[in-house]
Chains A and B, each alone.
Chain A
Amino acid sequence: MGSVGAKEVPVLLSPEGLRIDGRKLDELRPIRMQVGALHNADGSAFVEWGANKVMAAVYGPREVHPRHLQQNNKAVIQCKYNMAAFAVDERKRPGLDRRSQEISKVIGEAFESVVFAEEYPRTSIDIYIEVLQANAGTRCAGLVAASLALADAGIPMVDLLPAVAVGKIAGKIALDLRKEEDNFGDADLPIALVPQSGRLVLIQMEGHMTEEELSRALELGVQGCREIYEKMKQALRERYATGPIGGST
């Protein structure tokens, strides 16, 4: 993400063990979640996570388009992740690219393992994730937003799906990388957790880690996911505590 290269490598970890933005190694960036941000979707959510801004909308279960994708025994889950042209410093060429296709695929598959798709045969559940501003960890922010949007759309699921990226910066395992840490760090490991069962439904890695580092990273990631899980439940409670269903936002 962004341009590596000419730029000078920043000091990722201070002698006191603090990161660029003053966080400790196991600390998340500030997160704000708003459920039901869009009117015309069946469910929606907006997530601000550090400098990331991600909007998610869910439609369905509804008729499948194109028809040939229809499955007779369950709903198909179609996920589309897209990054806006203005989401990064250098204008991103708009539209589908390899990266967004990959992310759409892994997020869609993560949800296939938690959504009770058998309850709605021959239908489609469509998830749209739009990244408005990016600062590393957008697939995790997108997953969290989409998960809230699915809950808001009343779609039956095993659990919500919190997600977070763990990484290695200056030789140390750190939770929730920001852009500089992602660009100049040694490794990046996004995960998504089913908190109830402790199962991981998304795990990818870029860079290198030793076996011990990997287990430490997974441990830290699961801990981060549990923290995010609590925030997600809180966001859903806030939405329905006073607010109306489908009312003006």
Chain B
Amino acid sequence: MYASVLGLLSERPPVVQVIPLSGRYIPKPADTVIGTVTDVQGTFWLLDIGAPRWAPLHMTGTPWQVDVGETERFLRVGDAVVVQIESLEATGRIGVTMNGEGLGKLDGGTIVQVSPARIPRVVGRNGSMIDTIRRLTGAEVVVGQNGRVWVGGSPDAIHRVSEVLRIIEENAQHSGLTDRVESYLRSTTPTDLKGPEEPPHEHAHRDAPPRVLGSAEPDEDAVAAEDEPPEPSEPSEPSEH
């Protein structure tokens, strides 16, 4: 017996399974995902949802009254949308719909890609993590099960959210992450942030006053309250055996 993918061995008799540590997003029915339009046809759009295949979104699967050949008036290549997985066929075809609450086109904002395996941590138990992020940054956040997170709001808010997402992804195996994120967000106000990583300019603005950077480090003493079972930090068994 052997595992076919790299992952963590989980033994809960009578079930033995391997939890994959990596890999593309594998669609599941009823998942809400964020996609970008890659192709426009007469009656449907093709969406890249990060899955092995592109997913066709048919014009009848939208809340709009679309006429044949008019699809491009509604969505063009590059547009971002929130859709739900409706059907999966044996051929690998992924059917999606835009009819439903919280689904539709996304305007403005930024999409941050995290590993689909980390999405449960981004959302947190009963949405605790995502609520904290929304509350403390004021940003609009839409989480797709395919690992894409859409963030809308002021540039500052967007930057802070992407910073937080990076922290979550890098520390997903640690406990007390929600507290850590909360203290990070409380310790940094929008003006404290240094902006997108820029290399120091040695000669630029010699007479400009030195820039004061706020502490961007998360509080190390954050109490590790068990808000969620941490992921095992070490693979118990090697992948291919």
Contact = CB atoms under 8 A, between A and B. Distances in A.
Given A241-B234, A246-B169, A61 B5 contact: no
B155 interface: no
B34 interface: no
Given A196-B2, A237-B235, A245-B22, A157 B240 contact: yes
A114 B118 CA distance: 28
B4 interface: yes
Contacts of A75: 52
Contact of A240 (B113, B118, B171, B235): B235
Contact of B5 (A62, A155, A233, A248): A155
Interface string B23-40: 110000000000000000
Contacts of B171: 244
A96 B239 CA distance: 34
A236 B239 contact: yes
A194 to B, nearest CB: 10
A120 B92 contact: yes
A159 B240 contact: yes
Q: Is the interface of A mostly helix, strand, loop or mixed?
A: loop
A152 B53 CA distance: 20
B114 A246 contact: yes
Contacts of B45: none
Contact of A247 (B20, B21, B52, B170): B170
A179 to B, nearest CB: 31
B69 to A, nearest CB: 23
A52 B170 CA distance: 31
B235 A241 contact: yes
Contacts of B24: 42, 60-62, 153-154
B150 interface: no
A237 B238 contact: yes
Interface in B72-95: 91-92
A225 interface: no
- Give the most central of A42, A63, A123, A160: most B CB within 10 Å: A63
A116 interface: yes
Nearest to B54: A63
Contacts of A153: 22-24
Contacts of A120: 52, 92
Interface in B122-153: none
B53 A122 contact: yes
Nearest to B234: A241
Contact of A151 (B52, B54, B92, B239): B239
Given A42-B24, A160-B240, A241-B234, 9 more contacts: A61-B52, A72-B91, A153-B24, A160-B239, A244-B169, A245-B169, A246-B113, A247-B170, A248-B170
Interface of B: 2, 4-6, 20-24, 52-54, 91-92, 113-115, 117-118, 166, 169-173, 233-235, 238-240
